[in-house]
Structure 1
Amino acid sequence: MLIAGSVPGMVAAQPAASDTAARSSVAAEIRSAASGKLRDFYGTRGYWPLWSDKGKVRAEPAQALLTLLDSADQDGLRSRDYDARGLLRAIKEADASGDPKALARVDVALSKALAAYVADVRRPSKAVKMRYLDPEVEPQAPDAAEVLRAAAVAPSLASYVEKAGWMSPLYMKLRAASGAYATRWGGLPAVSVPTDVKLRPGGSSGEIAILRHRLGLADGVDYDKALVVKVKLFQADHGLDADGIAGAQTIEALNRGPGHYGRILALNLERARLLPGPWVRHVEVDAASARLYYYSGGELDGSMKVVAGAKESQTPMMAGMIRYATLNPYWNVPPDLVERKIAPKILDGATLRKMRYEALSDWTADAQTLNQSEIDWQAVAAGRRELRVRQLPGGNNAMGKIKFMFPNDLGIYLHDTPDRALFAKPVRHFSNGCVRLEDAQRLGRWFFGKTPTAESDAPEQYVPLPRPVPVYLTYLTVVPTADGVQFLPDDYGRDGE
């Protein structure tokens, strides 16, 4: 790896006229050196240099870029393709000579390297299946000129490059944590621990000796304090109850081996790769951890818990544009719930009116309301007739007061909910695929700049967003923590795909 600070620092400030003259000389040389998309970028800024100032290469942004390029293996790329060491030599030579032509060549070379790296790291993997609903969210090959313009207008070029502002912060945290995980667990022996025993603190046996070896501890047969600490650490990192006891689940996780977890880490990095950077105003929903994040202006504006789909009705991986909100929404009850929950109550003497439901003739926008008495409820309860039933707006409506729509044929959307107890649960996979929001009003204020309020009690009031906002539904079974990463249960069974 390149050593931090290995790019020489800038010299002391020079008179303004001298600074301008130096940069003008470099700009004149860039006019001759830049071509193609790089010329498009530099041309719009009068060929003014991006990476140099006062006759020197700007140390902090250049070092940030070299560090990224030199660690490109963490992105599944080949760091040698970007020749960070060659760039470093060119920087030192240009700084030593102060030659405008050398500085121009370095400036163009750094810009070319940044554009190439961004294009490569933003390229989506074929291993991840994401459904795109709108052309605005379809992955596009980054244009070199646009990549460089985004870097040039960032408040701090060094910070933008260091944080890889074109990537999701979740991706960058996972990227950093994957290296820490490999250091902590990747090099340990891939030996199998016997599965027919439960190993506890205070014990002493040959099986414990194998467990110690698997976790990289000194040879021995005792389940001592050092082993308890290491088992707890492994459990915490792998989504297990950190009790320090090597029970069946812990041993099963150990026996999957370092290679298994390396593959899962790589897969999750590919999933996170599909998310936009924080300079794009957007919403991310991670179904695995049941959390939502929303970004704009290069920052995380907020996050909240959500309830995602159950194993039998999974929240899909998809991306689209949230275009409008619906206030006082209906809830179209899934037909299987009508069969299992509503029809038996009607047969027991309940009424749709008192339960605040209504039955409709079909699923079209022009469906007619049906009288309860004209429906064969025995057939509905037996599954011989599929009936459309919707819950009327109100305090107990499953949609709450508002839902946010990104049109799709699966009927997936983000919505409010009156069922608050589920947000206290550590695992929140209970919905029929839609995403229930912990604080729909807060998200609404972020969308609209004010609290969206219904004009009346009328149902289904549609309010277009001032500007459509991209939403990405993803599935990250590895999440960054303060100390590294934590593997979450693969409730949807997608990690083996």
Structure 2
Amino acid sequence: MNRARHHRRARAFPLAMLLAACAVAPPVSARVQPADAPADATKASVASEIRAGVSGKLKDFYGPRGYWPLWVEKDAIGPQADALLALIASVDVDGLAPRDYDPRGLQRLIEEADASPTPKALARADLALSKAFAALVADMRRPARGIGMRYLDPEVEPRDPDPSGLLRAAAVTPSLTDYIQTAGWMSPFYMRLRTARADYRARWGDLPGITVPEGVKLRPGGNTPEIALLRHRLGLAQGAAYDRALAARVRAFQSDHGLAADGIAGGQTISALNRGPAYYDQQLALNMERARLLPGPWVRHVVVDAASARLWYYSKGALDGTMKVVAGARESQTPMMAGMIRYATLNPYWNIPPDLVQSRVAPKILKGASLKGMHYEALADWSANPAPLAQSEVDWGSVAAGRSEVRVRQLPGGDNAMGRVKFMFPNDLGIYLHDTPSRDLFAKPARHFSNGCVRLEDAQRLGRWFFGKQPVADGSAPEQHQPLPQPVPVYLTYLTAVPTAQGVQFLPDVYGRDGD
């Protein structure tokens, strides 16, 4: 039920109540100008009631702020409560049950506070709203099992949220109403997928799940039995004509599924239709669970999506930038992992993976190439300070046959596969973000060519964001490590459903992780 919100003048409270409230001083950030003194007095009285009634984890939030209310504006519950009730009403799309957050009970307490805005009634509503809010945020943030994210550092590992921390984060936002309406504690990726799932259900979820024969191409002007099935599948009136209404409906379906919106039901369109709405709802739900693992935009962090081969970076509640990347090929996939980018390496080596040494380097040497000519060097082991090996000391035939291995690395320089810089989040898989001299790959629509690492379209720009200035090497010495001023979380994920301005684009499952 929508409530017409209005603010009333502060009621006159007994002198004894006001004197008692003076012992509960609001935090400095909550103090107001003298013109708002009546509202300030009301909140002080509410704070006194909150102090008398609060318990448990909520006390950890209210106590340090002088028991100052979170949901009261002037002498009434503010519009942020309406935003919370609206969010609760929609949480079925998150896989949650609205009844778990007692919306009827909240509505009753709010209406009681509206009808009789005494400090006690306002305090009861404030505490109940905070409890429901903290529970909802915790449930929305809680990851599902089996998603496959690997956590490299304790800083990024999911924890059971503390209600006081969730409420403190909400209390310092510029607008609590906006924070709730946008679910600012969730990743923007999650929220866009959430909206897309709700819209998808509304537009396509209730249509009949019948099969349209494949192997045909249906187009405007046609009049065949298959067209009658297509009309039925898309919820149009019975008939066999491919008229303007059907063409428009086909274009709408194509736009919402990332297909070329030409109004012609060809092989891809019919195949997409025959998967049925339940399939796409499941895909959206799966990708929401992956996106649930990502932080909200108020956390300074980087997201790399291997499926779309793109990178985004966020801070202070906003997207700071995005760029293309080259992600791992199907046989050398970029894993789902999260860690802390702690330093940059300038003038990097490239340690060539042993399988590439076997398949590419060794055959070239057997045909007469030299390590020096290729700007490579062979090393005795994988330690931090390995001894160099002369080319003649290595049995390259054995390496090419896979009977032995040798460490080979490419020296720093303009042709180095790492480019000028790599950004390190230590892990045993040797995955990192790095520059690249291979610029042509960024022009391709599908960019899955790497050996698992992430090649950056604009490493210099990302470096400026990390450091606040352009990191510069001190001379030509190789492997110069520069720590970031503050470590930055990085999340490597895999999103095969991407919201667009027109609908949702369902991307190819390059790595085969989505299942049947």
Fold equivalence (TM over 0.5)? yes
- Give, in whole Å, the separation in 2 of the partners of 1:312 and 1:247: 31
- Give, in whole Å, the separation in 1 of the partners of 2:211 and 2:87: 37
- Give, in whole Å, the separation in 2 of the partners of 1:241 and 1:337: 38
The counterpart of 2:62, out of the listed 42, 45, 55, is 42
- Give, in whole Å, the separation in 2 of the partners of 1:276 and 1:50: 24
Residue type matched to 1:110 in 2? L
Q: 3-state SS of the aligned residue for 1:353? A: coil
Paired residue for 1:21?
A: 41
- Displacement of 1:248 in angstroms is 2.7
- Displacement of 1:13 in angstroms is 8.9
Q: 3-state SS of the aligned residue for 2:332? A: coil
Paired residue for 2:77?
A: 57
Q: 3-state SS of the aligned residue for 1:264? A: helix
Q: How do 1:307-322 residues align onto structure 2 when only pairs under 5 Å count?
A: 307-322=326-341
Q: How do 1:31-180 residues align onto structure 2 when only pairs under 5 Å count?
A: 31-59=51-79, 61-180=80-199
The answer to whether the 8 A contact 1:7-1:62 is kept is no
- Give, in whole Å, the separation in 2 of the partners of 1:236 and 1:138: 37
The answer to whether the 8 A contact 1:55-1:95 is kept is no
- Displacement of 1:118 in angstroms is 0.8
Q: 1:77 to 1:376 in 2, by over 3 A?
A: same
- Give, in whole Å, the separation in 1 of the partners of 2:164 and 2:283: 34
Paired residue for 2:488?
A: 469
Q: 3-state SS of the aligned residue for 1:354? A: coil
Residue type matched to 1:56 in 2? A
The answer to whether the 8 A contact 1:346-1:377 is kept is yes
Q: How do 1:273-292 residues align onto structure 2 when only pairs under 5 Å count?
A: 273-292=292-311
Is 1:410 matched up with 2:435? no
1:155-195 deviation line (CA, Å, top 9, x unaligned):
22111122112111111111112111111111111001112
Unaligned 5+ segments in structure 2 are 12-34
Residue type matched to 1:204 in 2? N
Unaligned 5+ segments in structure 1 are none
- Displacement of 1:360 in angstroms is 1.5
Paired residue for 1:8?
A: 5
Is 1:437 matched up with 2:437? no
Q: 1:13 to 1:350 in 2, by over 3 A?
A: farther
Paired residue for 2:368?
A: 349
- Displacement of 1:96 in angstroms is 2.1
Paired residue for 1:195?
A: 214
- Give, in whole Å, the separation in 2 of the partners of 1:10 and 1:468: 45
- Displacement of 1:310 in angstroms is 1.0
Q: 1:383 to 1:441 in 2, by over 3 A?
A: same
- Give, in whole Å, the separation in 2 of the partners of 1:13 and 1:24: 12
The answer to whether the 8 A contact 2:346-2:473 is kept is yes
Paired residue for 1:394?
A: 413
- Displacement of 1:7 in angstroms is 5.0
Q: How do 1:129-278 residues align onto structure 2 when only pairs under 5 Å count?
A: 129-278=148-297
Q: 3-state SS of the aligned residue for 1:359? A: strand
Q: 1:229 to 1:336 in 2, by over 3 A?
A: farther
Q: 1:350 to 1:196 in 2, by over 3 A?
A: same
The answer to whether the 8 A contact 1:168-1:277 is kept is yes
Count of aligned pairs between the two proteins: 493
The answer to whether the 8 A contact 2:9-2:75 is kept is no
Q: 3-state SS of the aligned residue for 1:451? A: coil
1:357-382 deviation line (CA, Å, top 9, x unaligned):
11112222232211112222222223
Q: 3-state SS of the aligned residue for 2:343? A: strand
1:234-266 deviation line (CA, Å, top 9, x unaligned):
233323344433333322221111111111111
The answer to whether the 8 A contact 1:72-1:79 is kept is yes
- Displacement of 1:340 in angstroms is 2.2
Q: 3-state SS of the aligned residue for 2:485? A: strand
1:111-167 deviation line (CA, Å, top 9, x unaligned):
111111011111110141211111111101110111111111112211112211211
